[in-house]
């Protein structure tokens, strides 16, 4: 096993204790192999086949690298975003703008292309029709000029009514419908803007909800405070199961009466009454504070939170505040909308955000694992680009973590208010794999700051959330506007595993307090069958790989029972053809965990999990490697028809288009590297 530069752990601990220390992260840390290989290991897959597969994907990834050194694959989401784009055009048209007929037609074409045979729309590939997505799609098509009497619209209406109609939509869909006068506001959850006035010492304030929730609800609170609505000249009353005026709120109190759910239903009811007769001076102070919060977070960011709902809700809020369409702030957000657009000859779709930092970090890791030297021009350009994305300003994370120097990396092209631990760990691992050259001192300082920041973001439970520390007050899940199931950002196994993966690479082991606490957290989070839940990737296959990789990196004994149970679970869900697959269905019903058609992403994750667990010699690994090689295309890529990630479990899913390529490259390369080591070959 390659050794780390001696004394690193002592130096970094000294640096953590004393600001005046001159300790430095070592300029060169060689590849640390943490995987166990059996003594009698004998490879079965021909080495030439593995090498050829690796070379093809290397060539592909290097061929799509951007001139400035980064990678950015498409980030695909469901049709609701493109439907929202049509709604946005009509909102702007209502205040003096014009609907671009070409853009609307292309967007409508895309929405129509996603309609299912039963008439509805789903929220992940090959999933069932979902009511909120279907209502949004139908409404957008009505705005785009489609008559309710057209066969495709009749079919959609039948499906929506079968699903329960408008009143079964989720909270944010209802709020949108109320803005466009398709739903009485009394049936939409209230978001009182006065919550901006609550001090952080209280158990509920805006910093006790996740970063993405803040970016979604604070602009909508402004909209509701100003009672802002838009008349679009049509209605979708045909989507109500009964007469619209007779609709009843489907949110009812539970029994027994004293529950958090009932408490927040009561608060919601009182908030709606207050919305009609607010205390004016308090409301104006709260609106002012909310407006300042939004506008300040547009700086050094690709829109509010650099995410689609934050951007579009900000436009809604600016319009509610009276900003004209040609106001610089409105135009700036519309430019961000344009940057998320993917336009083709006769179709247009919207991305939820971009993923360049994430994609670049993983691409560097995969290419270095595949054999590219640390001073390869492509890796050096990528490292320089990544170094330029380090956060050096305080963001919202500081509210709960005031004593840590700013650092970390975000996900998108610009989002300085909201760096995240997952991206930061990946970027640190990528930077460590590159040579220093002229960026030596700068890189060393970034590695040290990033390590300190990650340690400071560890939660009291031993794990890591993505964007905030200890964002885990479960009672807040009962807030009516939080029915999308992700109002919090608690510690998760996949993010904790990623952080351990980095700490292990720079010498932190099982004796370090942060590591010991994290391992304790992961043991508590393990499922009975041995798997781990995947918050950000689909799903238990992703979570199990992330955890096993992190545990191996920090030197956990991979012969322990809980590790063996995890490996056994991975082997138990392998498909007969050698691959692995898991649909987003497992988020809705855990009985579907590890079940689905094989995908290159999930096959790679399973393989890397098994390699980390010491299963290199197993029949499962050999079958998986052969599956990846046999399904690779001539250009070095793979096809993937299933979705591989999640924004909000059970509500919003994603497909990272580059996962299908750089993760298989990592799996093939790590398998090849282990084989070389066993046979006495040198691995750089």
Q: What is the pLDDT of residue 29?
A: 34
75's enclosing H/E stretch is strand 75-76
The DSSP line for 507-538 is: T--TTSHHHHHHHHHHHHH--TTS----SSBS
**Cα-Cα-Cα-Cα dihedral sign, residues 657, 658, 659, 661:** positive
Q: In this model, does residue 38 exceed pLDDT 70?
A: no
Task: For residue range 447-462, list pLDDT tens digits in order.
Answer: 999 999 999 999 999 9
Rounded Cα–Cα distance for residues 669 and 86 (Å): 44
Q: What percent of the chain has pLDDT over 90?
A: 81
Q: Count CA within 13 A, CB hemisphere, residue 135.
A: 28
How many angstroms separate the CA atoms of 593 and 577, rounded?
Answer: 18
The predicted model gives 577-589 an average pLDDT of 97
Among 539, 583, 550, smallest CA distance to 464 is for 550
Q: Which helix (H) or strand (E) holds 359?
A: helix 356-369
Helices (H) and strands (E) in the chain, counts: 24, 5
pLDDT range class, residue 276, cuts 50, 70, 90: confident
- What pLDDT is attached to residue 264? 64
- pLDDT band per the 50, 70, 90 thresholds, residue 408: very high
**Interval 39-46 mean pLDDT:** 54
For range 441-446, the mean pLDDT: 88
Query: What separation in angstroms does the CA of 366 have from each of 175, 634, 636?
Result: 43, 19, 14
* Pair 174, 116: CB distance under 8 Å: no
Position 482 scores a pLDDT of: 74
Across the range 126-155, mean pLDDT stands at: 98
422 is catalytic: yes
Confidence of residue 5 (pLDDT cuts 50, 70, 90): very low
The gap from C-alpha 36 to its chain's centroid, in whole angstroms, comes to: 31
DSSP at 164:
T
- Radius of gyration of the chain from Cα atoms? 25
Q: How far apart are CA 632 and CA 379, in angstroms?
A: 24
Q: What is the pLDDT of residues 67-110, one digit of tens each?
A: 999 999 999 999 999 999 999 999 999 998 899 999 999 999 99
Cis status of the peptide bond prior to 256, with omega within 30 of 0: yes
- The C-alpha atoms of residue 407 and residue 390 are separated, in whole angstroms, by 6
Residue 55 has pLDDT above 90, yes or no: yes
Q: How many CA atoms lie within 13 A of 326 on its CB side?
A: 3
Distance CA 333, CA 340 (A): 11
CA 156, chain centre distance (Å): 30
In contact, 412 and 357? CB cutoff 8 Å? yes
Partners of 350 in the beta sheet? 341
Helix axes 493-505, 440-456, angle to 10 degrees: 140
Confidence of residue 20 (pLDDT cuts 50, 70, 90): very low
Gap between the Cα atoms of 351 and 340, Å rounded: 5
Is the pLDDT reported for residue 15 higher than 60? Answer: no
CB-count burial class (<10 Å; 0-12, 13-18, 19+) for 376:
middle
pLDDT band of residue 268 (cuts 50, 70, 90) is low
Calculate mean pLDDT across residues 6-27: 43
Cα–Cα dist 388/370, whole Å: 25
Q: What is the pLDDT of residues 209-264, one digit of tens each?
A: 999 999 999 999 999 999 999 999 999 999 999 876 665 554 454 455 666 566 66
Residues 414 and 355: beta-carbon distance below 8 Å:
no
Measured CA to CA, the distance from residue 604 to residue 656 in angstroms comes to: 14
Task: Judge contact between 186 and 272, C-beta under 8 A.
Answer: yes
Cβ neighbors of 282 (< 8 A, separation 6 or more) are: 194, 197
Task: Give tens-digit pLDDT for 326-345.
Answer: 999 999 999 999 999 999 99
> CA 433, CA 382: separation in Å to the nearest integer?
11
* Greatest distance between any 2 Cα atoms in the chain: 78
With contact defined as beta carbons under 8 Å apart, do 290 and 400 qualify?
no
Residue 499 · residue 550 · CB < 8 Å? yes
Pairwise CA distance, residues 174 & 360, whole Å: 37
- 553-569 residue pLDDT tens: 999 999 999 999 999 99
Quick check: 428 and 12 in contact, CB under 8 A? no
pLDDT digits (tens, 9 = 90+) for 449-496: 999 999 999 999 999 999 999 999 998 888 877 776 689 999 999 999
Which ranges constitute the DSSP H helices of 2-97?
Answer: 8-17, 47-63, 80-93
Mean pLDDT calculated for residue range 582-606: 97
Q: Taking the mean position of all CA atoms in its chain, how far away is CA 594? A: 20
Q: Which domains does the chain have, with CATH numbers?
A: 8-75+354-473+484-678 (1.50.10.20), 78-350 (1.50.10.20)
Among residues 359, 422, 489, 501, the one annotated as catalytic is: 422
Confirm if 391 and 325 have CB atoms less than 8 A apart.
no
């Amino acid at each position: 096993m390659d050794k780390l530069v001696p004394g690193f752990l002592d130096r970094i601990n000294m640096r953590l204790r004393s600001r005046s220390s001159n300790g430095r992260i070592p300029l060169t840390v060689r590849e640390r192999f943490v995987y166990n290989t059996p003594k009698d290991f004998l490879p079965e897959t021909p080495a030439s086949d593995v090498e050829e597969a690796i070379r093809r994907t290397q060539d592909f990834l290097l061929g799509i690298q951007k001139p400035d050194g980064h990678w950015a694959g498409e980030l695909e989401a469901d049709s609701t975003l493109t439907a929202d784009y049509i709604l946005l055009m009509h909102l702007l048209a209502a205040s003096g703008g014009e609907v671009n007929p070409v853009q609307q037609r292309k967007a409508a074409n895309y929405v129509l292309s996603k309609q299912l045979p039963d008439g509805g729309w789903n929220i992940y590939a090959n999933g069932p029709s979902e009511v909120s997505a279907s209502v949004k799609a139908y409404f957008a098509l009505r705005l785009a000029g489609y008559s309710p009497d057209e066969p495709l619209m009749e079919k959609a209406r039948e499906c929506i009514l079968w699903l329960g109609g408008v009143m079964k939509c989720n909270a944010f869909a209802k709020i949108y419908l109320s803005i466009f006068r398709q739903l009485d506001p009394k049936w939409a959850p209230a978001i009182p803007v006065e919550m901006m006035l609550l001090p952080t010492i209280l158990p509920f304030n805006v910093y006790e909800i996740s970063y993405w929730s803040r970016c979604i609800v604070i602009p909508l609170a402004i909209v509701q405070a100003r009672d802002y609505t838009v008349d679009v000249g049509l209605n979708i009353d045909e989507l109500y199961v009964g007469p619209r005026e007779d609709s009843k709120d489907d949110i009812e109190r539970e029994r027994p009466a004293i529950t958090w759910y009932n408490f927040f239903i009561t608060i919601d009811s009182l908030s709606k009454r207050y919305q009609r007769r607010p205390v004016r001076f308090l409301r104006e102070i709260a609106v002012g504070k909310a407006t300042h919060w939004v506008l300040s977070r547009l700086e050094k960011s690709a829109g509010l939170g650099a995410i689609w709902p934050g951007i579009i809700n900000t436009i809604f809020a600016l319009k509610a505040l009276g900003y004209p369409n040609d106001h610089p702030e409105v135009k700036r957000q519309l430019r961000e909308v344009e940057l998320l657009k993917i336009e083709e000859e006769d179709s247009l779709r919207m991305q939820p955000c971009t993923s360049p930092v994430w994609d670049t970090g993983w691409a560097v890791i995969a290419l270095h694992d595949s054999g590219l030297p640390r001073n390869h021009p492509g890796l050096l350009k990528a490292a320089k680009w990544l170094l330029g994305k380090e956060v050096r300003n305080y963001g919202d994370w500081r509210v709960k973590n005031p004593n840590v120097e700013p650092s970390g990396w975000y996900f998108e092209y610009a989002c300085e208010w909201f760096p995240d631990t997952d991206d930061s760990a990946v970027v640190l691992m990528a930077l460590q794999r590159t040579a220093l050259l002229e960026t030596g001192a700068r890189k060393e300082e970034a590695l040290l700051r990033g390590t300190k920041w990650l340690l400071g973001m560890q939660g009291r439970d031993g794990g890591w959330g993505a964007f905030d520390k200890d964002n885990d007050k479960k009672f807040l899940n009962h807030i009516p506007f939080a029915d999308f199931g992700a109002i919090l950002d608690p510690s998760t196994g996949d993010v904790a595993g990623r952080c351990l993966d980095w700490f292990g690479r720079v010498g932190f082991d099982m004796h370090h307090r942060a590591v010991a606490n994290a391992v304790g957290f992961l043991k508590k989070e393990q499922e009975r069958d041995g798997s781990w839940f995947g918050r950000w990737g689909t799903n238990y296959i992703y979570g199990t790989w992330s955890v096993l990789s992190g545990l191996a990196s920090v030197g956990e004994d991979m012969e322990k029972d809980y590790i063996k149970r995890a490996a056994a679970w991975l082997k138990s869900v392998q498909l007969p053809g050698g691959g692995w697959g898991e649909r987003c269905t497992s988020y809705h019903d855990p009985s579907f965990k590890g079940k689905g058609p094989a995908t290159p992403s999930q096959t790679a994750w399973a393989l890397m999990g098994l390699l980390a667990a010491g299963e290199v010699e197993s029949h499962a690994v050999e079958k998986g490697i052969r599956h990846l090689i046999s399904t690779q295309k001539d250009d070095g890529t793979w096809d993937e028809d299933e979705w591989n990630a999640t924004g909000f479990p059970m509500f919003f899913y994603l497909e990272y288009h580059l996962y299908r390529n750089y993760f298989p490259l990592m799996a093939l390369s790590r398998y090849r590297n282990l084989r070389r080591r066993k046979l006495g070959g040198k691995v750089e």
